[in-house]
Structure 1
Amino acid sequence: MVLTNNEIAHEFRFFRVYKDGRVEKNLSTQKIPPSDDPISGVQSKDVVISTEPSISARIFLPKIHDPTQKLPLLFYIHGGGFCFESAFSPLYHNHVSSLVAKANAIAVSIEYGLFPERPVPACYEDSWAGLQWVASHANRNGLESWLNDYADFNRVFIGGDSGGANISHTLAVRVGSIGLPGIKVVGVILVHPFFGGMEDDHMWLYMCPTNGGLEDPRLKPPAEDLVKLGCDKVLIFFAEKDHLRGVGEWYYQELKKSGWVGSVEVLEHEGEDHVFHLMKPDCDKAFDLVNKFASFINKE
């Protein structure tokens, strides 16, 4: 007989840890298969990027009107506090599909490892491996025909929401620091980004046993990282009632004064909360977010 200790050792926003080491998440993640949207014409399919560790992605292709036209590519990183949600969940499948339809872009939505099965920094390393996999198609001889045939590797965008926005930032820093041959990252889109300086910091530190404390550069980006962002432009979305609004503003101000030579713009949705566009995808402000996201990708 195995005895369990139901005494709680740690209580965080998204999970609790019992004294016997068990982790109990507050939310579950639903997954749906890829599908073709008969209304928008967007197709999707799943690909395996790595088996050890297990990394996969869902690729979205808009309706093709001109087979010779190369399309911008969005590398999307879902949110979920580094411990739940999925590129394969209804929320993210539908959101990325709507972005693809509106922007007329290809999207690679990465499925990265989650805590506790794979503690942080797995999310960062898996996402970097996914971006490298995208770059492996730059010579048009990669494993995925949609990327070989349709992607414009000189118009690559990295984007995500919440924790996924945090990961997007770290990828852009890595691109700017060590490069990524074969692709040009034009822009980064951060939707309601998570960064350090709030109560959830200790949750992130717990999920990342190899952390560098409250000043860990992945948690609280220093100026020397911000100045290295490997893109030309950044778009940051804020929601007025978002508990992450303050740290997003901090990031925006630090980026502006870091010496980074790119351009940064922000858009705030008044009266809305964190990732409202996922919860209320049919509201006017959610449509506005998708429209702005798409126009940012297509703006010369």
Structure 2
Amino acid sequence: MDLSKLAPIASTNPDVVREIPNLFRVYKDGRVERLIGVETVPSGIDSRTNVDSKDVTINPDTGVSARLYLPPNTSPSQKLTLLIYIHGGAFCVCTPFNPGYHIHMNTLSAYANVVVVSVHYRLAPESPIPVCYDDTWEAIQWVAKHASGDGPEPWLNNHVDFGRVFFGGDSAGGNIAHNMAMRIGAEGLGGLNLNGIVLACPYFGGDEKDILVELLYPNYGGVDDLKIHSMKDPKISGLCCKKVLIFVAEKDVLRGRGQSYYEALKKSEWNGTVDIVETEGENHVFHLLNPVGEKSVALVQKFVEFMKET
């Protein structure tokens, strides 16, 4: 999904004041109708993987929440790696409760034997950028409160090794994951050790202003905005982890952005290792759209290997 090309179109419905093709419509009364990413599935035991999941509220005032995943056969004394995952959707659609994300998190939790916190942040345009960043940061801080063993969520208290934490994200969620790792580097976050981040088909701004982001982000600084155009950040070497894995897809219009991010990290003074994997013949977030495909399975296997490496 090339966010830079998603300009509003005129609607034949007189009650619609703005329409973004294939994403959402805004009505005169302020109501937002999302055109994709609205289907949800409940949490609970997954019949395919036996992973258990449940939904938790982090901030009842804003609705920031998460879906948690616990792999099967986990003993009370067993401490597991934690994956904090941030979903994509152009900052304005999708949730962790969509079928594609639910399947993907169940698979990662089972195959990697990790606890997963899949973050539900507020969406633009009702909650303009940078709300998504602030909500995700609040969720990460909530997770970190469990490092002492007395947080509000027993699954995190009892089963997480806070010395082994990863961030993951796809598309816009990959952008948010990068920004969260940068924020830890700048501000610190006690009790949580970030080992690495995994970015799948990540969205970063290109050489021109992004039309959609301009609509969703009132204070967007154009090509100089380092949240969006992160490759230009002179402080990118402050990324607070030791390794990064980037997935790009051959037919994805964002492929070049992921490659530019890879090159920016390699050329910086960042003291870590970065790897990039390109999948031939596939498009944006193909692994979510066809999770049983051979190339999707290969992506998951690489993701799992990355988290299992010492």
TM-score under structure 2 length normalisation: 0.90
Which residue in 1 is equivalent to 2:180? 171
Q: How many Å separate the matches in 2 of 1:73 and 1:110?
A: 13
Q: Give the C-alpha shift of residue 13 in structure 1.
A: 6.2
1:206 and 2:215 correspond: yes
In the alignment, structure 2 segments of 5+ residues that lack a partner are: 1-12
In 2 relative to 1, CA 110–65 (structure 1 residues): closer, same or farther, beyond 3 Å?
Answer: closer
- Partner of 1:227, secondary structure, is helix
Alignment correspondent of 1:134? 143
SS at match of 1:87: coil
CA distance in 2, matches of 1:182, 1:28: 34
How many Å separate the matches in 1 of 2:90 and 2:52? 28
> C-alpha separation between the residues in 1 aligned to 2:234 and 2:36?
36
Distance in 1 separating the partners of 2:283 and 2:208:
17
- Choose from 158, 168, 182 the match for 1:159: 168
The range that moved more, 19-28 or 34-43, is 19-28
CA 1:65–1:52: 2 relative to 1, 3 Å? closer
Q: How does 1:259-278 map to 2 (within 5 A)?
A: 259-278=269-288
Match of 1:95 in 2: 104
Is 1:79 aligned with 2:85? Answer: no
Distance 1:138 1:191 in 2: 27
Q: Give the Cα–Cα distance (whole angstroms) in 1 for the partners of residues 224 and 24 of structure 2.
A: 23
Q: Secondary structure at the match of 1:107?
A: strand
Separation in structure 2 between the aligned mates of residue 154 and residue 45 of structure 1, nearest angstrom: 23
In structure 1, the residue matched to 2:194 is 185
**2:97, 2:21 → 1: CA distance?**
25
Residues 1:38 and 1:210: Cα distance change in structure 2 (over 3 Å):
same
> SS of the counterpart of 2:102?
helix
Task: Report the secondary structure of 1:138's partner residue.
Answer: helix
Question: Identical aligned pairs, as a percentage?
Answer: 47
Deviations 1:35-71 (A, max 9, x none): 1023422100000100122100000000135432210
Greater shift in the superposed pair: 20-29 or 115-124: 20-29
Question: Is the 1:223–1:258 contact (alpha carbons within 8 Å) kept by the matching residues of 2?
Answer: no
For 1:166, give the aligned amino acid: N
- Deviation digits for residues 240-291 of structure 1 (CA, Å, limit 9, x no counterpart): 1011101111111111111111100111110000010111111111111111
Q: Secondary structure at the match of 2:101?
A: helix
Task: Please say if residues 139 and 182 of structure 1, whose CA atoms lie closer than 8 Å, have aligned partners that are also in contact.
Answer: yes
Structure 1 gap segments, 5+ residues each: none
Offset of 1:19 from its aligned partner?
8.5
